[in-house]
Amino acid sequence: MDTPTQTPQPDTAARERLMTSLQDVVNDAETLLKNAQHTGSEQFSSARSKLEMRLHEAQHELAGLREAATRNVRRAAHAADEAVHLHPYATAGVAAGVGLLVGLLIARR
């Protein structure tokens, strides 16, 4: 009958990795600020390089999530376009129904 359309699920593992990376960046930044007042420049430099490394990792994870989200949005748009082309009258009917419903809700106010 119809080709089944699957809605892409968000990559929860990638989100968890990103959240962990961002939390590590925040923790490292807090440590850096605390140590900056009490330590010498060698420890400060070490903490700064560690923070920069964590920030770079978090940016890399964020870029990966952005690419995955873009792929998912494109897939969803393609599936919607395909559905509209396969069922143009049903799509017009649904759009008219939604328009009628919105019109009724606006008129009630």
Average pLDDT over residues 20-39: 73
| pLDDT tens-place string over residues 1-17 | 444 455 445 567 777 77
User: Among 10, 5, 21, 18, which Cα is nearest to 72's?
Assistant: 10
Considering only residues 105 and 46, tell me which one the structure prediction assigns the higher pLDDT.
105
Cα–Cα dist 38/85, whole Å: 67
Count the Cβ atoms, other than its own, within 10 Å of residue 21.
Answer: 19
Q: 4 near 83, Cβ under 8 Å?
A: no
pLDDT of residue 95: 93
pLDDT of residue 109: 79
Stated pTM of the model: 0.53
- State the amino acid at position 104 in one-letter form: L
User: Among 80, 83, 60, 71, which Cα is nearest to 14's?
Assistant: 60
| pLDDT tens-place string over residues 67-76 | 888 999 999 9
